[in-house]
Structure 1
Amino acid sequence: LLVLGAGAAIGAVSGVLVTKLRIPSFLVTLGMLSIFSGLALTITGTRPVSIVDDDFSDLFWNGSFLGVQAPIWWTIVLTAAGYYLLHQMPYGRRVYATGGNAVAARFSGVRTDGVKIFAFVLSGMTASLAGLMLAARSTAGNPSLGAGLELDVIAAVIIGGTSLFGGYGSIVGSVVGAIFIGILGFGLLVLGLSTSIQEVIKGAIIIIAVSLNRR
């Protein structure tokens, strides 16, 4: 809960910076990433911190229920919750309205700043949960764990049909995009391609996907 709360707080700060200071969200996200990555490296002395709690590892990675591994259950639960939030609750409609045309949404009575801040809070919490899962997988709190995954995340979301310019997208599509990126990465690894070549291919996929989304 402490980690999720910290993620929510960081997300809230990011949301305030975006809505009140009018800083582009992409730049705020990169800035906060740099700040807290640096803090993590400083606090840990750049060394991994071992995790010896088996219950923690079972909850977020090693455990299973009905023969299904914990990460898959987390994915199912979060996907279902996200789908319900976006498609069955008023907040979801406000998110799409704000992303499509914030000015029109404000004239319609939508508190767009609040919508954006809460979206950042949710993003911070889910990012924290992802961090917990990565830590459980490696049985250590590694300050550099997850570095370089930003490109994979962006690619997965774009391939899943979410527009970088706002207005449309879906949780299910993003999950499908993530699965595609995972399969692609595994396939490139099997082919023996270097990490640098994999990054080139992923970058090209992002450019192609964005160009198709704009049509």
Structure 2
Amino acid sequence: MNEVIAQLRPSAASLRALVLLVVLLAVFFFALGRFSPTLALDNIRQAAPLGVVVLGQAIVLMMGRLDLSVGATASLANIVLSSVFAGNVDNMALALAATLGAGVLVGLVNGIMATKLRIPAFLATLATSLIIAGLIIYFTGGSPRGSVPPGFRAITESWLAGLVPYSAIIWLVLLAATLFLVHFTMLGRKMLLSGANPVAAHHTGIPADALVILSFVLCSLLASVGGILLSAITGMASIGVGNAYTLDSIAAAVIGGAVFAGGVFLPLGAVAGTLILFFVQSLLYLLSLPPAAKFIVQGGIIILALALANIRQGKSS
């Protein structure tokens, strides 16, 4: 029991992200002039697609890698899902299978390139994102067709008992699943060890390459789920609809405490980082600031998060 409590206790990095989120929420509702739980939950509903993608990016970062193809993978999921659905809810099983299957394939390719071909992960996944973008344009002719039926869009548009968005519940379930996988299973602990010290993991008989491939498959699979949720919000196929998720997912994971050296997985921090980015965008919109302000503020938040982490690390060393 003590071990379970220790694993569930938020890390210092996650707590910093949560404090920053609380401050941001206070500023947001002060600017709004009133507190609205419904508005807060609606923002969470809209942030869920990015939040799911961030969980996948955090898993790859845990392994000391970086995935620059998550945005393209989410966009691919949008195209495949909408095309196979073709507006008919009877096609749901095939549409979901094709979309998730495409995500698994992308992850396998990324993992094999990063391990068997020894291509640096950020270059391999950058190449993958370009190939995906090219394939989307080739097969759609630049004008994608298809749509998501209203019956399926309920996963992002409807609320459970009128209280909690279904997309928020899906995000929470995936958060719990990734937390359990990494911190409460032998497989997850091997992944943490491998990410922290690949050489030591290899000497202890841990199949480091296989775990890296698994991390990329999980990342692309979660990116596809994020693309599915995003498609349920937009309701239609759109080229490049998820491209912004690449940089946003990295930023959110870093704000939440992820480190590029690997060996750290903070799902609660990833959630906080996602909501920080999303509420920053909402606040800027509320204040009628130009779109360029988003990038300036986002960059400032990343610098602040990294500076606080480095200061704390310097004091403890």
TM-score range, shorter chain: over 0.9
Given the two structures, how large is their TM-score scaled by the length of structure 2? 0.64
Q: Pick one of 154, 176, 197 that aligns with 1:80.
A: 176
Q: Once structures 1 and 2 are overlaid, which stretch shifts more, 122-131 or 168-177?
A: 168-177
Structure 2 partner of 1:169:
265
Structure 1 partner of 2:252:
156
- Superposed CA RMSD: 1.7
1:115 aligns with 2:174: no
Could you tell me how far apart the structure 1 residues matched to 2:144 and 2:157 are? 19
Could you tell me how far apart the structure 2 residues matched to 1:64 and 1:95 are? 36
Structure 2 partner of 1:63:
158
Residues 129-173 of structure 1: CA distance to partner in whole angstroms, max 9, x if unpaired? Answer: 111111111110112202223221111100111111111131121
Residues 180-200 of structure 1: CA distance to partner in whole angstroms, max 9, x if unpaired? Answer: 111111112222222222112
In 2, are the aligned partners of 1:160 and 1:169 still within 8 Å (CA)? no
Q: Offset at 1:114? A: 0.6
Specify whether residues 13 and 190 from structure 1 end up closer, same or farther in structure 2 by C-alpha distance, changes over 3 A only: same
Structure 2 partner of 1:204:
300
| Residue-pair matches, total | 214
Specify whether residues 83 and 206 from structure 1 end up closer, same or farther in structure 2 by C-alpha distance, changes over 3 A only: same
Structure 1 partner of 2:86:
none
Q: Offset at 1:205? A: 2.7
Give 5+ residue unaligned stretches, structure 2. 1-96
Structure 2 partner of 1:7:
103
Could you tell me how far apart the structure 2 residues matched to 1:92 and 1:73 are? 23
Which secondary structure does the structure 1 equivalent of 2:279 belong to? helix
Structure 2 partner of 1:37:
133
Determine what percentage of the aligned residue pairs are the same residue. 35
Q: Pick one of 104, 120, 143 that aligns with 2:200.
A: 104
1:130 aligns with 2:254: no
Q: Offset at 1:202? A: 1.4
Q: Supply the AA of the counterpart residue of 1:84.
A: F
Q: Supply the AA of the counterpart residue of 1:30.
A: L
Q: Supply the AA of the counterpart residue of 2:159.
A: S
In 2, are the aligned partners of 1:41 and 1:144 still within 8 Å (CA)? no
**Higher RCO, Cα 8 Å, sep 6+:** 2
Could you tell me how far apart the structure 2 residues matched to 1:125 and 1:104 are? 28
Specify whether residues 141 and 113 from structure 1 end up closer, same or farther in structure 2 by C-alpha distance, changes over 3 A only: same
In 2, are the aligned partners of 1:98 and 1:112 still within 8 Å (CA)? yes
Which secondary structure does the structure 1 equivalent of 2:288 belong to? coil
Residues 31-81 of structure 1: CA distance to partner in whole angstroms, max 9, x if unpaired? Answer: 21121122112222223434152222123x223333322211110110010
Specify whether residues 52 and 123 from structure 1 end up closer, same or farther in structure 2 by C-alpha distance, changes over 3 A only: closer
Could you tell me how far apart the structure 2 residues matched to 1:91 and 1:23 are? 25
Give 5+ residue unaligned stretches, structure 1. none
Structure 2 partner of 1:194:
290
Q: Supply the AA of the counterpart residue of 1:11.
A: G
Q: Offset at 1:111? A: 0.4
Specify whether residues 28 and 104 from structure 1 end up closer, same or farther in structure 2 by C-alpha distance, changes over 3 A only: same
Q: Offset at 1:4? A: 0.6
Which secondary structure does the structure 2 equivalent of 1:164 belong to? coil
Instruction: Tell me which structure has the larger Cα radius of gyration.
Output: 2
